[in-house]
Amino acid sequence: MRLIFELSGEHPEIPFAEIESVGSITDREVQVAVAECTNPADAGRLAMTHNVMEYLGECHADAASFKDLLDSLGLSVEGTFAGRVKKVTGTCIEESQLTLEKIIGSEIDGPVSLNNPEYEFRAVFSGERCFFGKVICRIDRGGFSCRNPMRRPFFHPGVMMPLFARTMVNLSLAMPSDYFYDPFCGTGGIMLEANLLGCRIFGGDMDPLMLEGCRQNLPGAELFRTNASSMPFGDDTFDAVATDLPYGQSVCILGGSLDKLYDDSLSEIRRTLKPGRRAVVVTHTDVRKVAEEYFIVRNFFEQRVHKSLTRRVMVLE
Phi-psi region of 90 (alpha: psi -120 to 50; beta: other; left: phi over 0): left
Q: How far apart are CA 115 and CA 125, in angstroms?
A: 23
pLDDT band at 250 (very low <50, low <70, confident <90, very high): very low
Q: How far apart are the first and last CA of the chain?
A: 27
Torsion angle, CA of 284/287/291/292, rounded to 10 degrees? 150
pTM: 0.95
Question: Pairing mode, if any, of strands 2-7 and 32-36?
Answer: antiparallel
Residue 249 has pLDDT above 70, yes or no: no
Tell me the three state secondary structure of residue 254: coil
Output the average pLDDT for the chain.
94
% of the chain exceeding 70 in pLDDT? 97
CA angle 122, 124, 128 (to 5 degrees): 145
Residue 219 has pLDDT above 90, yes or no: yes
Residue 297 has pLDDT above 60, yes or no: yes
pLDDT the model gives residue 258? 82
- Return the minimum-mean-pLDDT range out of 14-28, 211-225, 301-315: 301-315
Q: What is the mean pLDDT of residues 36-59?
A: 97
Are the C-beta atoms of residues 49 and 5 closer than 8 Å to each other? Answer: yes
192 closest CA partner among 154, 234, 142: 154
Residue 108 has pLDDT above 50, yes or no: yes
Q: What is the mean pLDDT of residues 21-46?
A: 97
Please name each of the domains of the chain with its CATH number. 2-138 (3.30.2130.30), 142-316 (3.40.50.150)
> Residue 133, exposed/middle/buried by CB under 10 A (0-12, 13-18, 19+)?
buried
The beta strand positions in 22-68, using DSSP E, are 24-29, 32-36, 49-60
- Return the minimum-mean-pLDDT range out of 77-86, 189-198, 303-312: 303-312
Residue 63 has pLDDT above 90, yes or no: yes
